[in-house]
Chain A
Amino acid sequence: MKEIVVISGKGGTGKTSVTASFAYLSSANTVLADCDVDASDMHLLLKPELISSEDFFSSDLAVIDYDKCAGCGRCFEVCRFKAVSFELDKFKISDNNCEGCGYCANVCPSSAITLVKQNDGNLYISDTRLGKKLFHAELGPGAENSGKLVAKVKNNAKKYARENNLNIVLVDGSPGVGCPVISSLSGANFVVLVTEPTTSGIHDLSRVIQLVKKFHIKMGCVINKTDINYKASDGIKKMLVAENIPLLAELPYSDNFTHAMIKEVTVAEYDKGIRSMLQDAWDKINNLI
């Protein structure tokens, strides 16, 4: 079983459009995982039908037991997030402001504060119109993506792939270089970098390359919107040569990315030219893993 993860560093480079197109072009032996949980949107292109849903508990909320609370106000003094307030006759913890750090629970002389795990969202398994299973998740308001959530989504997808003898797990990773991205890279066999020739696109590409190198994972790069700045695109190609990273595709800027989204299809289904470039990229990836 091989795990292919698509990441971008910068958001908005077309990562999910590319991932969904690979999902369309991939063989039937593929399982899909959307680990970009902060802004999960791959499902919009794949018309998922929900098979199962599971609650996801992760963050902590400090809760005061008023039978034990002596009203000393130590919690109010130590909270860095201004989550504790004094209202009428007692100290209260705001659900919205509490970060679940546990400082208040630690210093409370009456042991009146406990941390309670919060239901942050749901983990889903769906059938898609491509005939492939999609493992995805949805977060509640204010809840954040985490290494833990990404690991759960990926582990569910990998377990399903193992049990059903499917050999590819295709993962839509999240932007940035933080904890969720590290978790999405963990255990991967190949990383697809999707970038664009803009200053922030190049900057974030270089950071994400340094990260992937730490994990010794093979990678390849798709340059999207190549023709909006040829000079910057050449700069990206030089960087790829220096880092010994194969160039998988150079896609043009095209309104068809947006038109495809409006029609709820992948850009590979909507635009024949882009399809053949991405098919070529997908073949290259399969030869490299």
Chain B
Amino acid sequence: MKIAFTSTGNSWDSKIDPRFGRAEFIFIYDDETKNNDIVDNSGVSEHAHGAGPMTAQIVTEKKVDIIITGNGPGGNAARVIESSGIKVFTGAGDMTVKEAYDAYKKGNLTQS
């Protein structure tokens, strides 16, 4: 299973970026292969509009199963994600990537 975290950096100790569309990095962890795949998402911030759907497209292309973020995607991004069958968990805005993963494992994040 592939889990995508919106993050402000490229390590397990990086803070979660509470934003979805304009998140700085997408930190993807595959819990079967134990591999990380880190996507620098800063290019999306250079677009004036439509950041949410662009980031949604990136996570969809990466074939992730779960997204863990802070506030959650907005309407347009949520539609893309929903139609791809990806589950979204929110409420990790103040955590590090590691803490967010642990919180998810313990069932402490909200599924939206």
Contacts and interface: CB of A to CB of B under 8 A. Distances in A.
Interface of A: 58-59, 146-149, 151, 179, 182-183, 185-189, 211, 214-217
B9 interface: no
A214 B73 CA distance: 8
Contact of B48 (A147, A185, A188, A214): A147
A245 B110 CA distance: 20
Nearest to A60: B48
A146 B50 CA distance: 10
Contacts of B73: 214
B22 A183 contact: yes
B19 A187 contact: yes
Interface string B39-81: 0000001111111100000000000000000111111001000
B27 interface: no
Given A147-B22, A147-B51, A187-B18, A215 B72 contact: yes
Nearest to B21: A186
A289 to B, nearest CB: 12
B11 interface: no
B91 A216 contact: yes
A214 B79 CA distance: 12
B90 interface: yes
Contacts of B91: 216
Given A187-B70, A211-B75, A216-B71, 4 more contacts: A151-B51, A187-B93, A214-B75, A216-B112
